[in-house]
Amino acid sequence: MSAKVTKIGVLTSGGDSPGMNAAIRAVVRTSIYRGLDVFGIMRGYSGMIEDDIYQMNSRSVANIIQRGGTILKTARSKDFYNEDGRKKAYANLVKRGIDGLVVIGGDGSFTGAYKLSKEFGIPCIGLPGTIDKDLYGTDFTIGFDTAANTAVQAIDKIRDTAESHDRLFVVEVMGRHAGYIALHSGIATGAENILMPEVNTTLDDMVASLSEQEKRKKLVNLVIVAEGYTPDPSQPHLKGAAETTRLMEERLKGLEIRVTILGHIQRGGPPSCMDRFIASRMGFHAVECLIEGRHNVMVGILHNNMHYTPLEIAIREKQKISEDWMNIVKILAS
């Protein structure tokens, strides 16, 4: 039986995502309700190493549920990769008696949490906070819904001008190595083609699809490209919309393509209702896990039920793009 947790530290790490504040709020308020002390750790693992840690109360998280970004700030700490950095960080937790951690972030952040739990025995809970939705063991990640909706709003606007000029547009969305924002926003905007790193769509496929659409006098063409998509597998360093467009223009001489890279607007803005809701549920259950002794897991939601995935599995495995979704893309865009 593991020792009772009495003081919880909470941090956000890696790329921020809309809804992280709602998760922090849920962790803080549930901890206080359950009689635990709760500490905010600033700038992820960097603040843990630099001892930038403060005690939070219910008021510390007032009026933040609707705000994008993270009040605890975030960072990708290089020093935390070293054992020395982690020793220093752990000593700062011990100094305050922090005996449980909630880490809100993606797989890189969970790797740090897993190492801390293994090396020092401190129980850690991961909350999936990333717009990329690339984590195994959860249907949704905190921030994905808002980011996908931001992309949809932008792509709808691009369609208006694309349609007026009968022009081909290539729009790049974020996602790092994953294509979920591309897939969801592409289906939701009726994009004619969606290019993702997980699906091997070659330039030949693209050229064939465009020629076929031209034959059918389908003039408007929106191609959504995930930033991690590689148009030419023999040159894996070439990625995203700019390279895809360049290679397409080389192949289809005379074709004029406009490119839009949506970039970091996808990471900001007020979180959607869905992101606030799942962040609140997950934050609440993170604290319950620490209290119940269900340690070193990522708290996710699968089929609308809470689902707990051991951190080492959450780090190793990836969500898969289903063939069914790809079929939907093909049939509905025809």
The binding site for ligand F6P (CB under 6 A) comprises 15, 106, 130-132, 174-176, 227, 267
Nearest distance from residue 264's CB to ligand F6P, in Å? 6
Sheet (strand 124-128) strand order = 53-55, 37-41, 7-12, 100-105, 124-128, 297-302, 305-310
Q: Which of 16, 107, 132, 145 is catalytic?
A: 132
CA angle 188, 194, 195 (to 5 degrees): 145
Closest to ligand F6P by CB, 243 or 249: 243
Tokens describing residue 305: 């039920």
The three-class DSSP label of residue 301 is strand
Closest to ligand F6P by CB, 100 or 175: 175
Are the CB atoms for 192 and 158 separated by under 8 Å?
Answer: no
Closest to ligand F6P by CB, 106 or 186: 106
Torsion region of 293: left, alpha or beta (phi above 0 gives left; psi -120 to 50 gives alpha):
left
Does the active-site annotation cover 205? Answer: no
The Cα 300–Cα 303 span in angstroms is: 10
Q: What is the dihedral of CA 202, 203, 204, 206, to 10 degrees?
A: 100
Residue with nearest beta carbon to ligand F6P: 15
Tokens describing residue 101: 């951690």
Nearest distance from residue 325's CB to ligand F6P, in Å? 19
Nearest distance from residue 225's CB to ligand F6P, in Å? 13
37-41 and 53-55: which strand pairing? antiparallel
Nearest distance from residue 142's CB to ligand F6P, in Å? 12
Closest to ligand F6P by CB, 76 or 96: 76
The Cα 159–Cα 149 span in angstroms is: 15
Nearest distance from residue 132's CB to ligand F6P, in Å? 5
Nearest distance from residue 228's CB to ligand F6P, in Å? 8
Closest to ligand F6P by CB, 264 or 303: 264
- Which of 148, 116, 81 has its CA nearest to residue 11? 116
Residue 213 CB coordination number (10 Å):
18
Closest to ligand F6P by CB, 267 or 276: 267
Residue 112 CB coordination number (10 Å):
27
Active site (catalytic) residues: 132
